[in-house]
Structure 1
Amino acid sequence: MKHLLPHLRLLALLAALPLAAGAQTAERRTSLGLNLSALQYQGDFGSDYWKMERSSYAPGLAINQYLGRGIDLNTQLFFGELSGRRDDKTHFNTTLVNANAGFKFKLNNGWVLKQNAFFQPYLLAGSGWTYASRSGMFDGKRIDLDKGYVDVFGAAGISLRLGGGVSLFVQSGQHLPLNANLDGISETETPRWADRFLQHTAGLTFNLGQAPDADEDGVPDRLDRCPSTTPGVEVNATGCPPDGDGDGVPDYQDQCPTDAGTAELRGCPDQDGDGVGDAEDACSEVPGKVELQGCPDADNDGVPDQEDQCPDTPAGAQVDAQGCPSPTEANNDTDGDGVANDVDRCPSSPGPASNRGCPEIRADVRQRLKEATQFIGFELNRATLLPSSYPTLDSLAQLLRRYPDYTLSIAGHTDSRGAAAYNLRLSRERAAAARDYLLTRGIDAARVALRGYGAQHPLADNATDAGRSRNRRVEFDLFLTGDPNAAEAKYGPEPTAPSPATLKKATPVKKAPAKKIPARKAPARKAPARKALSPSARATKAPTKAARPAGKAKVPTKKPAKAPARPGARPGQR
């Protein structure tokens, strides 16, 4: 047992090594294996095969080189010994040094099993050299001999993929050193195969190297056709999310994954092309208006043609619910919803009295607002929207046109990593980026309100990657224009931005190279002007610049001293 302890310590050390990223493929071609083997002798002294208590232990090293999906080049080296004993006059002890090379035939070749499968069976076949140093006695006579033999080797094993770059493997193989005399007794009948041994091996394989993979989806950037996939989304061999209906909208974002549609409608079909999905289009075969659920309104009086009893009403005329001109305003109810104008919050849009005369937000619309959060993504540690966010924001613009009496609340949140002051600014900038995009789609700036709450209101535990991913979000809510902001009703007032001095302490400033700071040539009296536009001051002014492109206007091109305020300037992923 004493001679086994160093080898057990070696395996414990290997198990403690960190897991590398990526798996051995054409991108990461070489792996290194460290192992421990149990050697079992068979010869003129009998057979120790499959008798673990009679085994001797040998440390070893293996190097694997990727050749193709189904085959690798494998080399192995180990040092051990075999022994046997009949009595004090007949015994042997043979030290072995073995090196061999051969081919590893893999079943995780993409045809039988996936290349990144957890279970990875394989076969080994090779040949090499066994050097044997024998000492001992036969009938009281010394049988010492040092000699080398050609070794034929075959084995079967299985690898268990523990992580991106580490595998645990176990294998058993047969060694046939040709014409070897390992025990000192000559065999006359089968001298070629008389002495041989089994090798049972367990160890760890570490795949070396790491191919660049910016979106961490397991597909190297060189092969990734969708290099900005949202973290955690399942991808295929080309790095793209599955798209079952082939409409260009990945299944995880496709609201109609079995029916081909358009990106603007999140993958849902729109056969009349009016911008209203068939599932919500009350007139799916005729182009119409978004605010009328896709139905046409030839005289633009707000009443769909199929309900309009006066389809040729003059432009601008007040009409009743049937689309006919109102004979008088005596009823003081412009939209004819039964709520008098003086108490009607939406006198031009019919709605129930329970909602103060305003149209109610349908349950499916509120669900869409809730789900929109998961489809909004940003560049790493920045407030720049990913293109995959555009279809969702386009659909929100359509909702705002459908509900002209409502304002959209956008609330930005972060996880808890990093300084609180930085998180507060980043959450507000990301909300501003979403707002700016909506303004480019023709939405009035007064109808989009933003708030930033930093890491103050998590949805999940910030101690886990999954929890932090849920906490990094932008939330959307509709509320009647003039009512309290929906985000403030849910989370309270927006936190106050810290002072410039506090923010500078919270966000370390990395000085730009001297050649990139033209401001150094300016007189010292101009320094206060640069200090006035601190990161917190720019975060406070963010809502007033509706047309500012997200993630770009915050880095002045003429004042490099502000470069540390870029969202990507701090370490860690946001």
Structure 2
Amino acid sequence: MKNLSRLLLFAALVFFGTNAVNAQDKNNPWGISIGVNAIDTYPVGDAMANGMRGEFLDEFYNVDDHWNILPSVSTIEVSRYVGDGFIFGVRGSINKIDKLGDVSADDLAYYSVDGMIAYSFRDALFGEGGWFDPYLGIGGGYTFLDDVSSFGTANGTVGLRLWLSDNINLNLTSTYKHAFEDRYVKHFQHTAGIGFVFGGTDSDGDGIYDDEDECPETPGLAEFNGCPDTDGDGIADKDDACPDVAGLPEFNGCPDTDGDGIADPEDDCPEVAGVPALNGCPDADGDGVKDSEDECPNEAGPAANNGCPYADSDNDGVLDKDDDCPEVAGPASNNGCPEITVEVLEELNVQVRTVLFDLNKSTIQQDSQSTLDDVIETMKEYPNTRFLIEGHTDSQGRDEYNMKLSQERAQSVKDYMESHGLPATRLSSQGFGEEQPVATNATAAGRAKNRRVELSLIEDSNE
């Protein structure tokens, strides 16, 4: 017990006097630990009346009454990191058993060899470099108890490493060793030891171990933590945006040949001073278009027009690029095209109402085609205006027949207008049958007025 206390005291002094940052990993794959072990046969379950065994974990820390401790270094373990937090180890132990639970024993010699695969939770829980390193392990072993018996065990381990420095740790474990037959001794083995890790590699041969080398695959310089500085500008290649050309720190190691404050790799005109907004290229007229792409380098204009100002051919205040009618003046609200007035629309309707169809048909009479041609020419003067062609009938005849006839006549006018140069996107047609009379259907004159085609405007839904 005194040796265990001294070991713990020594470990604590080392721990508080150092910075713990590393662990057993690919850079220090080998580990060796020496220490003391304690054997306890009591808290293993299967309580016995004679006090040799108690309930599982009962009196787990009853050191004075149940623990068997050999007052010397009694445990040695060799381990190897195998990757992804897993470590394989082999441990050999000796002890002398003078207590089997509450029963005295006759100083039975104890020897064991155990293998274990352990998983460290250090990186997952606390991040790389943490000093607190808990782990779990499973494995098996073989125990020799004096010349009385020898037996195999299945082992489960809970352990903790406290990293005292880059290569030194304090290792504490509790291992339950289960013997599968009652005549053998299942027991707990506790260990406390000092561990050392080693085997660091220097993959690039630059004299700096990989665990401290920020560029472990490339030879470098100590002042750059193992990284090279190919162009010798005092900036390590890993931080140098131009590692093969000497440059300045403010440009991450890149040069600025034209001195315009823009590093050459980001400067589209590295030999001529320019402005940052154009990636280092000049802009004489300040229009945001670099001179090399500006068709009017001394006259400001938008990039969409290659640096030249836009024209307004009809002087209506709407630039030609936005003007749907660049040769005819019109308001901006109608994209530069003239807007049709109520008077013009009424005049169109006066004309279109005179359009005649063959009896009970949708065929336009030939005498009416010249009237429609005049209407079409006027409609072309308003290229942004959309028209609904309405067909109407009187009340004579069945409703269904009148509706069908009015739709067909409206469609016939629409087809005629499209065939004479009006875009289909500007026209729509709809029949209303006898639903919208403008005069009485009780007289012949009234019915004549109700048999008509009219034009109305279609308003854009987004207006």
Bin of the TM-score, shorter chain as denominator length? 0.3 to 0.5
Larger radius of gyration: 2
Q: TM-score, normalised by structure 1?
A: 0.35
